[in-house]
Amino acid sequence: MTVLLDPVGLFQGTSPEARRTLSERGRMRTFEAGDVLMRQGEEADAMYVILSGRVRVDRDATGQAAPAVLAELGPNDVVGEIGVLDGGARTATVTALEQTRTLELHRTLLSVVLLQYPDIAGELLRTLSRRLRSTDEILDTLARDKDKKDRP
């Protein structure tokens, strides 16, 4: 039996039971183009698996006039995992670029499933590490570009 999360890279290494549990207990959400899925600084209570559509991930950067675009994500990508894992505020704003269907996975659900299926935790940590490295590189580039502009 195929479940919603079978094609999602984050969950590829997890058991079929874990994917089925998350698929069945998650909440389907649809966002129209321009809708904000999450805002930087807000409480993080859920992460989203993008089932269809595209989103843009922006982060307000100190000293920058406009937010830094960190990524554009589409089907089978996840957003919102950082705040859900560490209990902190959202680190970026995510906006739908077109109609986007998601599976919302609430923090409580993830906590229970992580206890039952610890293999998901390893995949989440790898995803988180890749995202943090990418964000660091983007912000470093923006800072270097700003320094070049500010020099006489």
- Asked if residue 109 has pLDDT above 60, the reply is yes
In contact, 74 and 56? CB cutoff 8 Å: no
What pTM was estimated for this model as a whole?
A: 0.79
- Sketch out the chain's domains with CATH numbers: 9-144 (2.60.120.10)
CA distance 69 to 60: 9
3-class SS of residue 99: coil
> Average pLDDT of 98-112?
92
Q: What is the pLDDT of residues 23-49, one digit of tens each?
A: 999 999 999 999 999 999 999 999 999
Output 12 or 34, whichever has higher pLDDT.
34
- Asked if residue 55 has pLDDT above 90, the reply is yes
Would you state the pLDDT for residue 65?
A: 75
CA distance 5 to 2: 8
> Average pLDDT of 41-61?
93
Instruction: Give me the chain's average pLDDT, please.
Output: 84
Output 151 or 11, whichever has higher pLDDT.
11
